[in-house]
Amino acid sequence: MDKWPDNRAWFLVLPAFIIVAFSGIIPLMTVVNYSLQDIFGPGEAVFVGTEWFKEMLGNYRLHAALWRQFLFSGLVLLIEIPLGILIALAMPKRGWGVSASLVILALPLVIPWNVIGTIWIVFTRPDIGLFGVGINSLDLLEVPFDHTAKPLYAWITLLAMEVWHWTPLVALLAYAGLRAIPEAYYQAAKIDGASAWATFLYIQLPKMRGVLTIAVLLRWMDSFLIYAEPFALTGGGPGNTTTFLSIYLVKLATMQFDLGPAAAFSLIYFLIVLLFSFAFYQALLNVGRGEKG
């Protein structure tokens, strides 16, 4: 077919272009702008080139926050994915139990994040919290449980909160994947004399690969960008032990007003997220190819 001769058709793209410009490009370029200048006050800015980037890349606090972040996201995946699969496997397959368990499972997902923070603060408080008082009354711990007292306790509380909040999502995805397996597969496995473990390994797990990749992707990205939970619970402490990337970034930008370094750091953060998104997207594509037919 011949090329459309009328260039006015480009106007049809204009609304989309304007929206993308305001929602994405302009804010991003503002950050780029900040990251290349040292701003002393209104109208007093000096172009500094890549200095902020160099500074941030060499910043040991950022390194520490980055490793903390990787550790946290890794732990989240290690706990949430297997736990989600287990829950999905244990859920009823038919009858009224299905809707009941789905509703119960979805509860943590519909609670606002600040409420979740408050719930867990109260829950783990050593003076009035059910968990805090409970575990301390057992007298097993050398240092009484208090998430503000010991880094380990802060991490346990944060992980528990994250797992409680988001494992249901993994379970829901895994459940959807399990339900999509035709009954005939289970019959075939039965006729072959396959054990329950073999059925899981050779039928359920490979058939869930697609949804599980999506679950891994979502949980990885989301936990990598975690802000609300440590902000509400620990504020980054004790010390800097729960200062994740976003917490550090917000401190840098809004408390110390180091806009240049914070902007450079934002861009680095953004690139890391982008890189992992790309990697997961590629993995997802390959899974899609492998599962076809």
- Residues at the interface with other proteins (CB under 8 A): 182, 184-185, 187-188, 190-194, 202-203, 205-207, 289-293
Smallest distance, other proteins to C-beta of residue 82, A: 18
Smallest distance, other proteins to C-beta of residue 54, A: 47
CB count in 10 Å sphere of residue 285:
11
Nearer to other proteins, 131 or 202 (CB): 202
Nearer to other proteins, 156 or 194 (CB): 194
Contact 174, 88 (CB under 8 A): yes
φ/ψ of residue 39, rounded to 5? -105, 120
Give residue for tokens 């999502």. Answer: 169
Contact 91, 175 (CB under 8 A): yes
CB count in 10 Å sphere of residue 114:
12
Nearer to other proteins, 202 or 280 (CB): 202
The four Cα atoms 167, 168, 171, 176 give a dihedral, to 10 degrees, of -150
Nearer to other proteins, 14 or 184 (CB): 184
Smallest distance, other proteins to C-beta of residue 89, A: 18
Nearer to other proteins, 61 or 179 (CB): 179
Nearer to other proteins, 28 or 188 (CB): 188
Smallest distance, other proteins to C-beta of residue 145, A: 43
CB count in 10 Å sphere of residue 103:
10
Q: Which residues of 45-72 are buried (b: 16+ CB within 10 A; e: fewer)?
A: eeebeebbbebbeebeebeebbebbeeb
Residue 243 tokens read as: 């200062």
Nearer to other proteins, 3 or 292 (CB): 292
Altogether, the residues listed in the chain come to a count of: 293
Calculate the alpha carbon distances from 214 to 102, 105, 210, 284, 287 in Å: 19, 19, 7, 7, 10
Q: How many helices (H) and strands (E) does the chain have?
A: 14, 2
Smallest distance, other proteins to C-beta of residue 196, A: 12
Smallest distance, other proteins to C-beta of residue 51, A: 51
Smallest distance, other proteins to C-beta of residue 182, A: 5
